[in-house]
Structure 1
Amino acid sequence: MFELEGKVKEVFDEQTFGSGFRKREFVVTVEDGKYPQDIKFECVQDKIQQLDNVSADDTVKVKFDIRGREWKGNYFVNLSAWQVNSVSGGDSAPDSIEPASQDEPPDDIPF
């Protein structure tokens, strides 16, 4: 599990697939010296509702897992957000990516 804090750049519309699988993606900008990093996350299934009150320019803390898979010889990586919280106090400085404590397990992750 990892944790990251930054400013929301964009929140995309929900996507629903024929299998019933649902996801919603969002981008968080993290200051990284001279070159800010735009990092795309996804919320899936029941975690999507966490993005209902999140919009561009909000500062958020994201707890996520890194998920990888192979499909037809290609490898894909997804950052699966399981908790998104607004950070109070406004303009706090974003942190770097760091492992979160192991005492808060994600629930209802579909993989």
Structure 2
Amino acid sequence: MEVTGKIKMIDQTKEVGSAGFKKRDVVVTTDEQYPQHISVQFVQDKCELLNNYQVGDNVKIDINLRGREWTNNQGELVYFNSIVGWRIGKVQAESASAPAQAPPMPAAAAFAPATNINEEEADDLPF
């Protein structure tokens, strides 16, 4: 899966817990009718991938969805989801000056009979 958009925020790398677990968050704003602000987490050695990016860059991030189950102090099961990035790359923003493509050929023109067949060749048909 992937998320594509413009970087809105890049957080600093943070160490969590006593085991030295590292994480770093980036927020990407999608480019669609209703833009979404998607928080993607990079963990451990993947935190360094964000060093070459800055706010405003258009990027594509390859992600994995992760889900966990946890039992809280009251004995209730709680579920968490996270979006974990594992690769990121810059993409070019689409510009209004992009070259226009030729319109598709109408279906009728695609199946129009050939006009360069002479009548003698047409009479050679075996049926």
TM-score (normalizing by structure 2):
0.66
Could you tell me which residue of structure 2 aligns to residue 69 of structure 1?
Answer: 68
Partner amino acid for 1:25?
D
The superposition leaves residues 7-50 of structure 1 with CA deviations (integer Å, 9 ceiling, x where unpaired) of 000001111022111000010000231x2100000000111110
Instruction: Identify the structure with the greater helix proportion.
Output: 2
- Taking only aligned residues, the RMSD between alpha carbons, in angstroms, comes to 1.3
Percent identity of paired positions between Structure 1 and Structure 2? 37
In the TM superposition, 1:1-111 aligns within 5 A as 2-17=1-16, 18-33=18-33, 35-72=34-71, 73-87=77-91, 89=92, 91-92=93-94
Runs of 4+ in structure 1 over 4 Å off: none
Instruction: Identify the structure with the greater strand proportion.
Output: 1
TM-score (normalizing by structure 1):
0.75
> Which of structures 1 and 2 has the bigger CA Rg?
2
Which ranges in structure 2 are unaligned for 5 or more consecutive residues? Answer: 72-76, 96-127
Q: Select the structure with the greater relative contact order (CA < 8 A; seq sep ≥ 6).
A: 1
Count matched residues: 89
